[in-house]
Chain A
């Protein structure tokens, strides 16, 4: 399963790679990383219909996670990827907006990786 993680913090990459070391080695997950919304859209363009799952931060400089979600839902109506939004602001306004725009799930930081792992495995 190909998963695209979108976050402006570059350390997220090594964190995910270490946290899911076994799953990556076992070939269950394949992670790609984008450090902005624009980068994420470019990646989707270059790898059409590959990404099954997108994990995106909401609060990013430039294109926000919400904006990214809108574009993904508009640009990729066929074979839509699952989108999970992640944010430090666990308020209901953010949550409601994300869900309304077609997010599949909503996580708050700090991310509980065990929970996330279970969720990803269940989708798999």
Chain B
């Protein structure tokens, strides 16, 4: 009876420990406890069932209980293990009575036996119940583990999803940022072109207003010159002294000269006004297929010889890099020609200036003026570059070169309308882009991009 209680108690503790992670530490303890119980049982039978043996069992059980109470690892089974106390207590009480009052014990032997039996059954009922509860707990724990595992999996998949989304969002953010930058660039371009357009309109408006009064100035001064000539002829017919005649003729001569000056400067103003009017004038003519390479070459030579005619000393290397695959492109030939003329004239001016400055400083060295043109057709766009190794431009000049009337040339040598008009022709006339790159004192490069429709 005691053996069964002992054995099952060990067994119960073992199975309870198995559910936790503390089994390894107590593995050998359970092994020895089992051997001990079998050993005691074997000795009991070998010793022919001595009466005092129940003491050994009871003390062993108490020792076991004591271990369970001492070690924290067993706290889960303490309450269940307590159920052996009544059994052990009654068993010991019965033995004590048997020892001290044998008669009394013998008289109530049956009652003691019954009580011990009940206590013994009570142990097993409690254990059975505890086992059942433990099973339920185990079940619950397993369920919880399964749920945890499921939750873990869900968490993993969620994390994966989150990572994926984060990446998507980052990508979107980058794309948006790029889009914003592009928008900003476009906005700047729009502002710039809008500014240029309104300046162009203003210029044309001013020109219109000036043209009529200027016409009168020119016409009247011209007619005054004629009148002076007539007056000079008439004076000969009048009979006055030669001295007076010469004096009057002198005055007439001065008047005539003044009128000629007025005409001369009026014509100068007129040519500026004409230049301004070209801004607004709806493009002269239709787009037509043009060999752009030939056009560029023609105007390059035109600009070169134009400068040579004024300055015999001038010399520059003309380098051409034409893309022969361009063929003909639909452009406004006269307008584009004007752009080429402006760009080349400026390029030649820049190299001539640099040469002049270097010569003045006595540092000419091996400077070789060079003006380059290159053309390229790529992805339905025509790329043209006009570059020179001339004086270049500082930033504050570069910022203004496309504005009407901005010029760095001395008075009378430039109207400041060439690049402004070129800009207008390329952007509005051809839907293209005109940009400039320059390093002061080293070089300038104009880049034209024209879409080919």
Interface residues of A (CB under 8 A from B): 9, 11, 15, 18-19, 21, 88, 91, 109-111, 113
* Set of chain A residues within 8 Å of B223, measured between Cβ atoms: 15, 18-19, 113
Closest chain-A Cβ to B101's Cβ sits at a distance in Å of 145
Alpha-carbon gap, A100 to B209, bound state (A): 28
What residues on A are CB-neighbors of B220 within 8 Å? 11, 15, 18
Which among B215, B218, B227, B270 is the interface contact of A18 at CB below 8 angstroms? B227
- Write the B379-393 contact mask toward A (1 if CB under 8 angstroms, else 0): 000000000000000
What 15 new A-B contacts, CB under 8 Å, besides A88-B215, A91-B281? A11-B216, A11-B220, A15-B220, A18-B223, A18-B226, A18-B227, A19-B223, A21-B227, A88-B208, A109-B212, A110-B211, A111-B215, A111-B219, A113-B222, A113-B223
Structural contact, A110 and B218, CB atoms closer than 8 A: yes
Complexed CA–CA distance, A111 and B222 (Å): 12
**A11 CA to B218 CA, complexed, in Å:** 13
Assembly CA distance A29 to B226 (angstroms): 19
A113 CB contacts on chain B under 8 angstroms: 219, 222-223
Chain B at the A interface: mostly helix, strand, loop or mixed?
helix
Interface residues of B in 192-232 (CB under 8 A from A): 208, 211-212, 215-216, 218-220, 222-223, 226-227, 230
**How long is the Cα–Cα vector from A110 to B222 in the complex, in angstroms?**
12
B100 at the interface (CB under 8 A from A): no
Which residues of B, 247-304, contact A by the 8 Å Cβ criterion? 270, 281-282
- Encoded as 1 (CB less than 8 Å from any A CB) or 0, chain B from 333 to 369 comes to 0000000000000000000000000000000000000
Alpha-carbon distance between A109 and B216 when the two chains are bound, in angstroms: 10
Residue of A nearest to B230 (CB): A21
Residues of chain A with a CB closer than 8 A to B227's CB: 18, 21
Q: Which of chain B's residues has its CB closest to A93's CB?
A: B282
Which residues of A sit under 8 angstroms from B270, Cβ to Cβ?
110
In the docked arrangement, what's the CA distance between A88 and B282, Å? 15
Distance (whole angstroms) from the CB of B27 to the closest CB of chain A: 110
B216–A9 contact, CB under 8 A? Answer: yes
> Looking at B208, B219, B222, which has the most chain A CB atoms within 10 Å of its CB?
B219
Whether the pair A9, B212 counts as a contact (CB closer than 8 A) is: yes
Query: A-B pairs with the 10 shortest C-beta distances?
Result: A110-B215, A18-B223, A19-B223, A15-B219, A109-B215, A11-B216, A88-B211, A110-B218, A15-B220, A88-B212
Could you tell me which B residues sit within 8 Å of A by CB distance? Answer: 208, 211-212, 215-216, 218-220, 222-223, 226-227, 230, 270, 281-282
Find chain B residues with CB under 8 A from A21 CB. Answer: 227, 230
B residues within 8 A CB of A111?
215, 219
Chain A nearest Cβ from B190, distance in angstroms:
28
Minimum C-beta distance from B219 to chain A (A): 5
Contacts of B216 in A (CB 8 A): 9, 11, 15
CB distance from B368 to the nearest CB of A (A): 45
Bound-state Cα–Cα, A113 to B226, Å? 12
- For this complex, 23 residue pairs linking A to B, each with C-beta atoms less than 8 Å apart, are A9-B212, A9-B216, A11-B216, A11-B220, A15-B216, A18-B220, A18-B223, A21-B227, A21-B230, A88-B208, A88-B212, A91-B282, A109-B211, A109-B212, A109-B215, A110-B215, A110-B218, A110-B219, A110-B270, A111-B215, A111-B219, A113-B222, A113-B223
Complex: chain A residue closest to B216, CB-CB: A11
Name the residue of chain B whose CB is nearest to the CB of A110.
B215
Contacts of B226 in A (CB 8 A): 18-19
> In the docked arrangement, what's the CA distance between A11 and B215, Å?
11
| Distance, CA A1 to CA B27, complexed state (A) | 142
- A79 shortest CB reach to chain B, Å: 32
Residues of the A chain whose Cβ atoms lie less than 8 Å from the Cβ of B222: 113
Nearest chain-B residue to A92 (Cβ)?
B282
Complex Cα–Cα for A9 and B211 (A): 13
How far is B281's CA from A15's CA once the two chains are assembled, in angstroms? 28
- Report which residue of B208, B212, B230 has the largest number of chain A beta carbons within 10 angstroms of its beta carbon: B212
Chain A residue with the shortest CB-CB distance to B282: A91
Min CB gap A86→B, angstroms = 11
Q: How far is the CA of A99 from the CA of B230 in the complex (A)?
A: 38
CB distance from A92 to the nearest CB of B (A): 9
Q: Which residues of B contact A91 (CB under 8 A)?
A: 281-282
CA distance A11 to B208 in the complex (A): 18
> In the complex, A91→B281 CA distance in Å?
8
A99 to chain B, nearest CB (A): 19
The interface centre, meaning the residue of A9, A110, A111 with most chain B CB atoms within 10 A of its CB, is A110
**A113 to B216 alpha-carbon distance, docked (Å):** 12
In the complex formed, the residue of B with least CB distance to A19 is B223
* Nearest Cβ on chain A to B233's Cβ, whole angstroms: 12
CA distance A17 to B8 in the complex (A): 145
For residue B222, which residue of chain A has the nearest CB?
A113
Task: Please indicate the chain A residues that have their CB under 8 angstroms from the CB of B218 in the complex.
Answer: 110
